[in-house]
Amino acid sequence: MKRLEHLKASRRDSLSKKLPDDAFVMLDPAVEVLDAEIAEHRLLSHGYLETGMVVPPGEGLVDFVTTLSNRPINVAVLRAQFDDQSIIDEMLASLRQHGFMHITSQTKPSTEELEHLRRIAECSRTPSLRRSIVIDLDSEISLEQISTRLKDETHPPELLLRCAQLADHKLILGEMARLRQRGIVRMHQTVVQTQCLSSDSELRRSLIRLGAAVYLDGISWPAPDHPIGGLEEMVRDCVAVHLLMTPDLSIVDEAERRRVVTWATSAFISGLCLRLDPDALWPAGDAAEDDFDAIFKAVRAIENALGDVLIVNLPSDEVLLGNAASSASPGRVSDFAKRFRAAYLRWRLPLLKVCENDNSWSQVPEVEDKLVRAQEDLLPNHPELLLLKPGSIVADVCGGLGRVARRLSPAVGQDGLVISVEMFRCLSDRARRFACERNFTNLDFRPGLAQRLALPDASVDAAVNEWTGGIWELGLGASMVKEMARVVRPGGRIAVTHRLVQLHLAALRQPWVQYDEIYAWIREAFVHPDLTIIAERIWGQIVPSLIGQHATLWRKQYMPRLINPYDVIYRYDESPDTRADVYLTVIAQRR
């Protein structure tokens, strides 16, 4: 017991303190250095906490991590191996902060001691993580009880409401929507899981105001056997509906995947929520890593075609990125299931790292707003160009971190809605968090594809797309505009904005152009039988200087770092002369 008492000294308030030379440290045995290398970055996977960490390029950094494996090592010995002591202390602090490393005694922890160390790590991480709350609406629970649970959370939680029949809870869902609109309760995300979609227009309106997606349970794989009652009305009113399915091994068959994608697309389903139970998929427990990978790749193929696919019984991307607490208990699953979960981390973490790229963008709205300043932004300052009014519904295609959606929010008012569709779930989650923190209640952030909008025909009043070079580079611009035209009602408008050129004002003959053909690409995409171009607006702004800005705020970094190479202040600008971005916005009306 003396050793356990000694270990209790590791409290959250001491995590940032420099470790003494006589301390001993060790990686958690569940931490694995992945073989994958993404743009010279390596990845750590924590199989117990089910989260990842990035090891940036740098001589000796991976060796430093592996030195901490298998047995406790003295901090003084570690420091003696590196010239820069501050880097050592920063890496040790980062590993401790995220639960990847523990302070131990001189000998390797026993099983009991390791469990205790992990509890300490979990307690230190919990205050910074968003939690999930699950409520059974069919039980005797009052609105006041739900409200109290939500208010008790440090961060707006992910709320899952379960019920057999949606219609049975029309009153409480309506009251919750009113509390949310008044700012009394805040939820990062709300999901209502049910077995029956039957509803009236008032209930569907409450779901929209609640910002809720609906998960329909009990749907057979790969497609329902019969028409789903209430589904058409839900999607017609722009409620996001997801299907809960339990695939069998036929998911690896391309024809079966095509069936589910074809049906979901035709029904305007927002996404799929898949339950993957390895013990049911392989009852004999004889699957190898390649078998696991085949399942994950099949899921990825559906996601690439459909846009929004979740594996609900595996850690979410937000858990993997260290933003949300896991609702699972890895210690309570079978050894075979643990192998399956570990394989999932090895597969998914590199994909999340790829999403970061290495270009200068932004991490928070305040910095993002410097890229396109609010006072210069064309459409939010002139919503009449889109014929927007209170109550309008707008689709924001390739919505990113939500800048356009937040700026259009006042134009549609409390009774309106901006549906922001973004390919990368990690961006959509961040946009949702930013909006929740600022108490926007008329924005709905959905993972999805520009070339397959999960909205029915003629369901929105306007659609916008702003500055998404990848769409045009990949040749998807025409497909995106076609989808925007499809979902907009006759008489409604669509608008596409992109940067034409960046001018060096002291040397106008030396412009920087991202795509020489961007104007031709956009004009060609607008050649559509149902569209008439009514305006082409040129506008722009002076490019902000980065001097004095913290570099981290301008880099796309979503996963925790062993060490942050951008923890610096910009002291100079690579292009010190004054520059101006010139944008083009093409606006068309649907006939």
Using pLDDT thresholds of 50, 70 and 90, give the confidence band for residue 7: very low
- CA gap 488, 460 in Å, rounded: 5
> Is residue 9 over pLDDT 90?
no
Name the β-bridge partners of 189. 158
Which CATH number goes with the domain that contains 430? Answer: 3.40.50.150
**DSSP H/E element including 369:** helix 365-371
The predicted-structure confidence for 96-137, as pLDDT tens digits, reads as follows 999 999 999 999 999 999 999 999 999 999 999 999 999 999
Smallest CA-to-CA distance from 188 within 125, 130, 272 is with 130
Q: Note the pLDDT of residue 330.
A: 57
Residue that is last in its domain, among 356, 389, 406: 356
Give the Å distances, CA to CA, from 570 to 545, 549, 552, 574: 9, 6, 10, 10
- CA gap 428, 447 in Å, rounded: 6
- Whether the upstream peptide bond of residue 447 has omega within 30° of 0, thus cis, is no
- Locate tokens 């014929």: which residue? 387
**Do 38 and 141 share a domain, yes or no?**
no
Which CATH number goes with the domain that contains 245? Answer: 3.20.20
Written as one letter, the residue type at 473 is E
Residue that is last in its domain, among 111, 126, 141: 126
**Do 327 and 455 share a domain, yes or no?**
no
Rounded mean pLDDT of 314-330? Answer: 89
- The overall average pLDDT reported for the chain is 93
**Do 418 and 347 share a domain, yes or no?**
no
- CA gap 282, 115 in Å, rounded: 30
Give counts: helices (H), strands (E), the chain. Answer: 21, 20
Kindly state the tokens that stand for 532.
């008439």
Smallest CA-to-CA distance from 447 within 469, 485, 420 is with 420
> Is residue 12 over pLDDT 80?
no
**Do 113 and 208 share a domain, yes or no?**
no
Give the Å distances, CA to CA, from 491 to 113, 460, 517, 546, 588: 68, 11, 29, 42, 10
Q: Note the pLDDT of residue 484.
A: 98
DSSP symbol at 545: P
> 444 phi and psi, to 5 degrees?
-130, 115
Give the Å distances, CA to CA, from 289 to 37, 75, 136, 285, 320: 19, 36, 37, 12, 20
> Is residue 5 over pLDDT 60?
no
DSSP character string of 230-254? THHHHHHTT--EEEEE---GGGGSH
Lowest mean pLDDT of 138-152, 269-283, 523-537, 538-552, name the range: 538-552
Helices 170-181 and 143-151 cross at an angle (nearest 10°) of: 40
Question: Between 301 and 574, where is the model more confident?
Answer: 301
**Do 161 and 122 share a domain, yes or no?**
no
Q: How many domains does the chain have?
A: 3
The predicted-structure confidence for 395-419, as pLDDT tens digits, reads as follows 999 999 999 999 999 999 999 999 9
**Do 155 and 228 share a domain, yes or no?**
yes
The predicted-structure confidence for 509-551, as pLDDT tens digits, reads as follows 999 999 999 999 999 999 999 999 999 999 999 998 888 989 8
Tell me the H-state helices in 413-501.
425-437, 469-473, 477-487
Helix, strand, coil percentages (3-state) for the chain, rounded to 5, are 40, 25, 40
**Do 87 and 136 share a domain, yes or no?**
no
> Is residue 355 over pLDDT 50?
yes
Using pLDDT thresholds of 50, 70 and 90, give the confidence band for residue 218: very high
Smallest CA-to-CA distance from 325 within 187, 155, 131 is with 131
> Is residue 155 over pLDDT 60?
yes
**Do 422 and 568 share a domain, yes or no?**
yes
Which three-class secondary structure string do you get for 181-213? HCCCCCCCEEEEEECCCCCCHHHHHHHHHHCEE
Tell me the H-state helices in 507-582.
518-525
- CA gap 375, 109 in Å, rounded: 59
Percent of the chain with pLDDT over 90: 85
DSSP character string of 267-335? TT--EEEE---HHHHSTT----HHHHHHHHHHHHHHHHHHS-EEETTS--HHHHTTSB---S-GGGS-H
> Is residue 299 over pLDDT 90?
yes
- CA gap 392, 105 in Å, rounded: 63
- CA gap 281, 338 in Å, rounded: 14
**Do 205 and 330 share a domain, yes or no?**
yes
Q: Quote the Cα angle for 91-561-112, to 5°.
A: 65
DSSP symbol at 168: G
Smallest CA-to-CA distance from 207 within 260, 155, 169 is with 169
Residue that is last in its domain, among 325, 356, 387: 356
- CA gap 476, 116 in Å, rounded: 52
**Do 432 and 334 share a domain, yes or no?**
no
**DSSP H/E element including 38:** strand 31-38
Helices 170-181 and 201-210 cross at an angle (nearest 10°) of: 40
**Do 167 and 288 share a domain, yes or no?**
yes
Smallest CA-to-CA distance from 269 within 220, 221, 229, 232 is with 232
The predicted-structure confidence for 502-515, as pLDDT tens digits, reads as follows 999 999 999 999 99
Cβ-Cβ contacts under 8 Å for 113 (sequence gap 6 or more): 3, 4, 7, 104
Quote the strand ranges of 392-530, DSSP E: 393-397, 417-422, 443-447, 460-466, 488-504
The predicted-structure confidence for 234-260, as pLDDT tens digits, reads as follows 999 999 999 999 999 999 999 999 999
Domain of 294 in residue numbering reads as: 129-356
Q: Note the pLDDT of residue 554.
A: 86
- CA gap 493, 531 in Å, rounded: 9
- CA gap 43, 181 in Å, rounded: 41
**Do 226 and 313 share a domain, yes or no?**
yes
- CA gap 253, 298 in Å, rounded: 8
